[in-house]
Amino acid sequence: MKRSHAPIFWLLFGGGGMLAALFGTALVLVTGIVVPLSGSDVLAYPRMLALAQSVVGKGFVLAVIVLFAWHAAHRILCSLHDIGIHKGLVAKLTCYGCAMAISLVAAASLWRVGF
Amino acid sequence: MSTQGRPKGEYRSAQHGGNSMHRPYVRPMAGWWKRDPFFMRYMARELTAFAVGAFAVILCVGVLRLAQGEAAWNGWLAALRSPASIALHVVLLVAMAVHAKSWFEIMPKTMPMIHVGGKRLGAQTITRAGWAATLIASLLLIALVWGWR
């Protein structure tokens, strides 16, 4: 029997959904609203570089970006059926391809900033 | 037979102009989610996936700019200060909150049953524990962002 690869996508979807539910709201509030409006320096370059160079910080940032991307890709793919678009190979490659591209760019960038 | 209240063209037979007596009625599915507030709430919830995806893209551009150096990073921060970005993030904030709310509302249906003291853990208990976890995680994140030196 051929093994299904569905559990992999389901795990990425579940992990991303949980991480987004726990941290998504606060992250959007901090990076997209409070810091830009208040002019706070908490996201200043030296601080964020130190965050991205630390193992824990690197891991958290990578997990957020990668899992959010795969979560969104999986859900958008499933929603296509609801609006009458067939969940075929093109739709799968588009959704999961975008998530893969985002993951690779994030991983490469975090690798580039060093340790 | 009354056809009152039915949009035009709901009988497939009429569209094809064939023998209408032998063609079954097929309920059209276009715009099905506009029929019921329950479906509309479902679609609104599904739309939050785009917010999660959009935020992943925004953060991904952020780490890319960070890796390119200080000037690039400051450019990303400046872009976040534009009115369009603030407006987008207000929408993303609402969508993320809706996602967090519904994620834990659905969780009792998706996770395995938990028994405490011989009784099944109630759905509401699981949902509320999830929301409490979100509150704690949010406060922890904000404390780390402003407190960590």
Per residue, the 3-state secondary structure of B65-122, as one string, reads: HHHCCHHHHHHHHHHHCCHHHHHHHHHHHHHHHHHHHHHHHHHHHHCCCCEECCEECC
What ipTM is given for this predicted complex? 0.94
In a domain, B1, yes or no: no
Tell me whether residue B99 is in a domain. Answer: no
Per DSSP, A40 falls in state: -
CB-nearest to B141 from A23, A65, A102 is A23
> Tokens standing for A115?
């340790």
pLDDT tier at B133, thresholds 50, 70, 90:
very high
Domain residues of chain A, as ranges? Answer: 7-112
One domain for residues B47 and B85: yes
Residue B48 covered by a domain: yes
Report pLDDT digits (tens) over B23-50. Answer: 888 888 778 888 888 888 888 888 999 9
B65-to-A108, B35, B52, B70, B114 alpha-carbon distances in Å: 12, 45, 20, 8, 45
B84, B124: one domain:
no
Q: Does A12 touch chain B (CB under 8 A)?
A: no
* Residues in Cβ contact with A12 at an 8 Å cutoff, skipping those fewer than 6 apart: A67, A70, A71, A74, A99
Q: Is the pLDDT of residue B1 over 70?
A: no
Nearest CB to B96 within list A28, A73, A112: A28
Q: Which domain holds residue B132?
A: 111-149
CATH topology of domain A7-112: 3 helical TM bundles of succinate and fumarate reductases (1.20.1300)
Could you tell me what percent of chain A has a pLDDT over 70? 99
Q: How confident is the model at residue B104 (pLDDT cuts 50, 70, 90)?
A: very high
Q: pLDDT for A55-94, tens place per residue? A: 999 999 999 999 999 999 999 999 888 888 888 899 999 9
Structure-block tokens of residue B134: 């979100």
Tally of structural domains, chain B:
2
- The dihedral through the CA atoms of B105, B49, A91, A82 has a sign that is positive
| Average confidence score pLDDT of chain A | 92
What mean pLDDT is predicted for residues B85-90? 97
What does pTM read for this prediction? 0.85
